[in-house]
Amino acid sequence: MTDASKISVIIPCLDEEENLEELLPYLQNYGSGLILEIIVVDGGSKDNSTVLAKKLGASVIQSPICNRAVQLNLGAQHANGDILYFIHADTRPHREFTKIILAHVAIGKQAGCFRYRFDPESNLLKVNSWFTRFNGIFSGGGDQSLFIQKTFFVSLGGFDESFCIMEDFELVRRIREKSDFHVLPNEMIVSARKYSSTNWLKVQLANFVAFSLFLLKVKPASIKSLYLNLLNQKK
Strands in the chain per DSSP E: 7-13, 35-42, 59-62, 83-86, 91-92, 111-119, 146-149, 182-191
What's the start-to-end Cα distance of the chain, in Å? 45
Kindly state whether residues 124 and 212 are assigned to the same domain.
Answer: no
Number of compact structural domains in the chain:
2
- Alpha-carbon distances, residue 87 vs 3, 59, 223 (angstroms): 20, 15, 23
CB-based contacts of 33: which residues, under 8 Å, 6+ apart? Answer: none
Bridge partners of residue 140, in order along the sequence: none
Kindly state whether residues 137 and 217 are assigned to the same domain.
Answer: no
SS3 label, residue 18: helix
- For 173-223, how does the pLDDT look when each residue is reduced to its tens digit (9 = 90+)? 999 999 999 999 999 999 999 898 788 999 999 999 999 999 999 999 999
Residue 85 sits in a domain whose CATH number is 3.90.550.10
Q: How confident is the model at residue 4 (pLDDT cuts 50, 70, 90)?
A: very low
Kindly state whether residues 183 and 214 are assigned to the same domain.
Answer: no
Kindly state whether residues 205 and 166 are assigned to the same domain.
Answer: no
Kindly state whether residues 167 and 69 are assigned to the same domain.
Answer: yes
d(CA 192, CA 69): 22
- For 95-148, how does the pLDDT look when each residue is reduced to its tens digit (9 = 90+)? 999 999 999 999 999 999 999 999 999 999 999 999 999 999 999 999 999 999
Show which of 156, 176, 191 is a domain's final residue: 191
Kindly state whether residues 173 and 146 are assigned to the same domain.
Answer: yes
Kindly state whether residues 50 and 102 are assigned to the same domain.
Answer: yes
The whole-number pLDDT of residue 2 equals: 43
Which domain does 158 fall in, by range?
Answer: 3-191
Kindly state whether residues 46 and 142 are assigned to the same domain.
Answer: yes
